[in-house]
Chain A
Amino acid sequence: MTDVLVNSSAVAPPLRLGRFRLYLRRFARNRAALVGVAILALLVGYATLGALLTPWDWSDQDFLALTQPPTSAHPLGTNQGGNDVLAQTVHGLQRSLVIALSVSVLTLLIAVVVGAGAAYLGGRVERVTLVVIHFLLVVPSFLVLALVSNRVGGDWRVLIVVLTLFGWMFTARVVWSVSTSLRERDYVLAAEFMGVSRWRIVSRHIIPHLGALLIVSFTLGVVTTVLSETSLSFLGFGVKTPDVSLGSLLADGADTINSAPWLFASPAALLVLLTVSMTLIGDGLRDALDPTSSAGGRG
């Protein structure tokens, strides 16, 4: 089926462009999206190679330099315990990135299965699923999130599970509403008449057509996860000492915001750069993958 699609669409436009070349081209035209990619690349570089910038490990304590503003030995200063802020933000950024990426992937998987499944199966399954989704959407899930993650105590792997369990509903609802329009399409009906099984139709025909939506949801999911992880860790329910994430670093900085503003500044700047870059990339992808877009087709 893919072959037919690619062949027919490759013949039609005057300029022969592969699908991915076209997407890439449209994406590359979007200046904001490119800025987003550049920022994200810098952040990923910082998270992976940043440890080389300082001889200190994130858990090392320099007892000769407690609560010091940025100096040449500690480029971003030190906190009350003498930890190097640069090393800590590198480690915290790693944590936040790993948590955000894994949660986005996992929530996306759940959302797709639930949303597309409900839309295609229809009837009672659909109604019950929607009621559950709507219920979970309006319940103040942050409170439950705090309850659960506080008990399991600071392990970032458990935090991934908990954030996933309470983070899939919104995407699932969007996937559902797009899938309901997909299920009436001719090719789905055709597959049905040919006797293809229901789950096979969902996995082979409906989910691939959600592609653009899913990629965009993924980038926005990263933003949402970073924000909720930050909130949880900030309030002391998420990543806890001795481990650090950007949220818990922010909480440390909050206590001394007037006497030691550098403790607040570095994690705050990294957080905003991370979420802004993901949003810019998400917007760029949305425009690039939009099937009704005509940009990038010519010259």
Chain B
Amino acid sequence: MVRYVLRKATGWLVMVVVATNATYFLASWFLDPRSNYRELRPVRTDEQISHALAPYGLDPQTSVLDRWWHWLTDVFLHFDWGHSPTGVPVNSEVPHRVLISGQLITIGVVASVVIGVALGVYTASRQYGLTDRVTQTLSVVLFNVPTAVSALGLVLFAVWLNQRLGWTFLHVAGATTPGGVDGAWANILDRANHLILPTVNLTLLGYVGWHLTQRTLLLDTINADYVRTARATGLTRAQAIRRHALRASLIPTATSVAFTIPAVLTGAIITETVFGWEGMGRYFIQTIGKNDVHGAVAVAAFGAVITAIGAILADIATVLLDPRVRVS
């Protein structure tokens, strides 16, 4: 079992490395750091621009392979992710953003999976009941709402609610109150309050997929022979579903976690934009705007690592659930 997880984890590690390096080449190809200097006055010559970019390993006149090798060795030997075209080190921008985005994505994914799977199980065991029909309709609609629309809808709702209440109950901008609040507890509460709307947004759009797939999967297994056999041994319907059908139907759900994380990441980028969070998503948009090759690659690496972590956790869950994997 440990060997299985280790083998899978190695595969994901390779994925992270390949994806990050591929992004490096793509970013070097599509982003032109020189254009940042073209608009400056007095006008710089190409030579001056190259001279300014050379120390950061961004000079397009050296070959891309040389630049890549320089960047790669720096990352591996010193964990130095390079500089932006204006000389801001990526390492000074990333850590606090990783925390912000990481917390948003983690809570979003966990809440989506828990709510979605629970709802899927509940509705599948009561197929065509009132709850089933209502949640089904709701999920189909939510499934089709673009992240930007739902996020802005939440903003509108929160503003309306705040006006109704006469005080700011839900915050619609930023991860904390600007300037901070006094006291440790007040600070934690303040952060938690700012977290509500973005998390609700990610969860609303994320749980839908889990609800619909888990419902279908459980409905497929609920009538299987082994569940009927379990009933025949004297288990109640609820017990048979919980101990036998649910377990089998959770396996494909667990394996699909990895494939949903890229979508969550996209959702997080938009959510951060709407709610004004200075996380990795906003950083990515800024780096592309500023032709910051190294910054964009760092965001891609973050995305790949998040996906890999989700995938490895999913692999472990699969091993725990699926006896076939554990034995072989």
Q: Are B15 and A138 in contact (CB under 8 A)?
A: yes
Among B30, B149, B300, B303, max chain A CB count under 10 A is at B149
CA distance A141 to B270 in the complex (A): 15
CA distance A280 to B144 in the complex (A): 10
| Chain A positions 268 through 299: 1 when the CB is less than 8 Å from some CB of chain B, otherwise 0 | 10011001101110010000000000000000
A69 close to B (CB within 8 Å): no
Count of chain A to chain B residue pairs whose CB atoms are closer than 8 Å in the complex = 125
CA distance A144 to B155 in the complex (A): 29
Closest to A250 in B: B148
| Chain A positions 208 through 237: 1 when the CB is less than 8 Å from some CB of chain B, otherwise 0 | 000000000000000100111011001111
Interface size on B, residues (CB 8 A): 43
Q: Are B144 and A138 in contact (CB under 8 A)?
A: no
CA distance A254 to B154 in the complex (A): 12
Q: Which of B287-302 contact A (CB under 8 A)?
A: 288, 296, 299-300
A251 surroundings in chain B (CB, below 8 A): 148
Q: Are B144 and A279 in contact (CB under 8 A)?
A: yes
CA distance A146 to B299 in the complex (A): 12
A13 close to B (CB within 8 Å): no
Q: Are B15 and A135 in contact (CB under 8 A)?
A: yes
CA distance A235 to B288 in the complex (A): 11
| Chain A positions 142 through 155: 1 when the CB is less than 8 Å from some CB of chain B, otherwise 0 | 11101110110000
A283 surroundings in chain B (CB, below 8 A): 140
B258 close to A (CB within 8 Å): yes
The DSSP consensus for interface residues of chain B is helix
Closest to B12 in A: A138
Which of the candidate stretches B18-26, B70-78, B93-101 sits at the interface with the other chain? B18-26
Interface size on A, residues (CB 8 A): 42
Residues of A within 8 A of B (CB): 135, 137-144, 146-148, 150-151, 223, 226-228, 230-231, 234-237, 247, 250-251, 253-254, 257-258, 261, 264, 268, 271-272, 275-276, 278-280, 283
A-B contact pairs, 25 of them (CB 8 A): A137-B259, A139-B22, A139-B304, A142-B265, A142-B266, A143-B265, A143-B296, A143-B303, A144-B26, A150-B30, A150-B288, A151-B30, A230-B149, A254-B152, A257-B152, A257-B155, A258-B156, A258-B159, A264-B152, A268-B152, A268-B153, A271-B146, A272-B141, A272-B144, A278-B144
